[in-house]
Amino acid sequence: MSRRAGGVRWLGSAAVQGLLLVVALVWLTPLAGLLLSSLRSERDNASDGWWTAFADPAQLSLDNYRVLLEDSGLVQAFWNTVLISVPATVLVVGVSALAGYAFAWLDFPGRDGLFLVVVGLLVVPVQIGLLPVAKLFGAVGLFGTVAGVVLFHVAYGLPFGVFLLRNFFAEIPREMLEAARLDGGSEARIFLRLVLPLGRPALASLAIFQFLWVWNDMLVALLFADGGSQPLTVALQSQMRQFGSNIGVLAPGAFLSLIVPLVVFFAFQKHFVRGVMAGSVK
């Protein structure tokens, strides 16, 4: 009996392994298609599929990327993406850390009520801010600038950031803070020397989540950035209209925009997963 059960189990396990292998391949196929398409000439892409490259690897070349890197508009858009993502991330982490500490350990008038408001703002859709903030930015000259895009991202990243860090900081043992206060440490000093180092895991998760969120954003920049400040996503989006004839630009461009998130993903897997999980309430 045990022999038969063992045989059945082995078969079952082989079936499960086979099924999962197929699923994994299906998941990787679209990305493989993007990569191979980006390495094929416009003419090859127009006449047959990327999978023919397996039979004929001579099709592949870096020509599309060379052309892309000579396109000053797209290179500028790539830098704009960096110029938007990095400050937006630093600001969200910084401002959230300050507020998170205040909400967790510094009593100020209206603190608890205000925090409930922050929790309520967690799920507010970005869409509700588009029109009003566009008018506001228009009035103060921020519309169409990198700074405007950054500020919008910071504001909509804050509810989650404050929420996450306040909860994390609240776990710090009270005695630890009391001891530091008795030692005569100023609040600013305690914040910098004690709270921030202790909060490093949460800060890292928040930073990664926020960075990817902003790096990958298209909607906000579509409205708030102009031709000179648009990030890569918007620059590529404007080429989608003639999709068929623009694969030579779109495929390598999309791949270029993927590289940074992929590096972040593989370098900080644990923080990444934790950040995305925690950030999913957004």
Partner 1 sequence: MAQRTTTRPGADPRRRALRHRRLLGAAFALPALLLLGALVAYPVVFSVVRSLFDASGDRFVGADNYVEMARDPATLTALRNSAVWVVVAPVLLTGLGLLLAVLTERVRWATAFKLVLFLPMAVSFLAAGIVFRLAYEQDPDRGVLNAVVVGVHDVFVEPAPYPTARAREGLGLTGSQADGYTSGELRPGAVAVLPFVGVAPGAVPAAAGPARAPDAVPGALTGTVYLDFTPGAGGRPGRVDPAEKGLPGVTVEAVRDGAAVASARTAADGSFRLDGLTEGTYRLRVPAAVFAAGYGGVDWLGPALITPAVIGAYLWVWTGFSMVLIGAGLAALPRDVLEAARVDGASERQVFRRITVPLLAPVLTVVFVTLVINVMKVFDLVYVIAPGPVQEEANVLATRMWLVSFGGGNDQGLGSALSVLLLLLVVPAMVLNIRRFRKGGDS
Q: Does 277 bind partner 1 (CB under 8 A)?
A: yes
DSSP string, 17-79: HHHHHHHHHHHHHHHHHHHHHHTS-HHHHHHS-GGGGGT-GGG--SHHHHHHHH-HHHHHHHH
Q: Does 233 bind partner 1 (CB under 8 A)?
A: yes
**Least distance from partner 1 to the Cβ atom of residue 73, Å:** 16
Residues 146-185: x where in contact with partner 1 by CB under 8 A, - otherwise, as a string? -----xx-xxx-xx--x----x--xx---------x----
Q: Which is nearer to partner 1, 210 or 257 (CB)?
A: 257
Stretch that binds partner 1, among 10-18, 54-62, 66-74, 199-207 (CB under 8 A): 10-18
Q: Which is nearer to partner 1, 62 or 170 (CB)?
A: 170
Distance between CA atoms of 225 and 199, rounded to whole angstroms?
34
Q: Does 238 bind partner 1 (CB under 8 A)?
A: no
Distance between CA atoms of 278 and 168, rounded to whole angstroms?
12
Among 8, 22, 62, 131, the residue binding partner 1 under the rule CB under 8 A is 131
CA 177 to chain centre: 33
Which candidate, 85, 88, 86, 100, places its Cα nearest to that of 161? 100
Among 178, 219, 228, 270, the residue binding partner 1 under the rule CB under 8 A is 219
Which candidate, 1, 32, 4, places its Cα nearest to that of 255? 32
- Span 42-71, contacts to partner 1 by CB under 8 A: 45-51
**Least distance from partner 1 to the Cβ atom of residue 58, Å:** 19
Residues 83-122: x where in contact with partner 1 by CB under 8 A, - otherwise, as a string? ------------xx-xx-xxx--xxxx-x--x-xxxxxxx
Long-range contacts of 219-223 (CB under 8 A, 24+ apart): 219/126, 219/130, 220/126, 220/130, 220/149, 220/152, 220/153, 220/156, 221/84, 221/149, 223/130, 223/134
Q: Does 216 bind partner 1 (CB under 8 A)?
A: yes
Q: Does 132 bind partner 1 (CB under 8 A)?
A: yes
